[in-house]
Amino acid sequence: MIQSRKRKEENQRKHLKPGSKPRIPERKKGILGVTSNHPQQLPTMPPTGSISRTEHFSAAHRLHSPHLSDEENRQVFGKCNHASGHGHNYVLETIVRGPIDAKTGMVVNIEHLKRWIKAAVLDVADHRNLDADIAFFKTRPSTTENLAVFIWIRLTQLMPAGLLHKIVVSETPKNKVVFTGDGLADADFRDCVV
């Protein structure tokens, strides 16, 4: 800061008319007592941060919509519509966002986040057949998109309001669904029972 001020003064002197003095900007004390040329800005909110937790679970399913005929299901879902179903090793990334608490230095206690994910998702979906074991998928196909909706609803039922920011559900290393809760209706929440 001092070096850049000296450079400015030297540059001003080079371009001055003989006998005039360089213009030096007024320096103000900042919020931390540090002298600065910038106007004082007071923080209005605590800093905001995001925390991400990744978990893995395995589940079976069959892509089959109750709203389509058997032939339409075969055409739409191909081999994923096989009557015996198939399974995935899903990867769930849960991202929460909020103010960083001044006392704890945390957005959320990671132990709480681990417990919420376990109760909302792992205890319900790990080593299960999504279609047979979870009522939510009786009326909708168990696509990764709908699985993300299910997970979002389950997590928001356990977490403080507004904390959940985004989830990413990976069905394979190449196929991921990102969901932020947009477009949910009350009916979605009513249907989300295990």
Residues taking part in catalysis: 80, 127, 171
For the chain, the 3-state helix, strand and coil shares in percent, each to the nearest 5, are: 35, 25, 40
For residues 143 and 137, what is the distance between their CA atoms, to the nearest angstrom? 9
CB 84 within 8 A of CB 132: no
Tokens 């001003």 appear where? Answer: 12
Among the listed residues 56, 151, 52, 156, the one whose alpha carbon sits nearest the alpha carbon of residue 96: 52
Residues 6+ apart with CB under 8 A from 30: 36, 38, 40
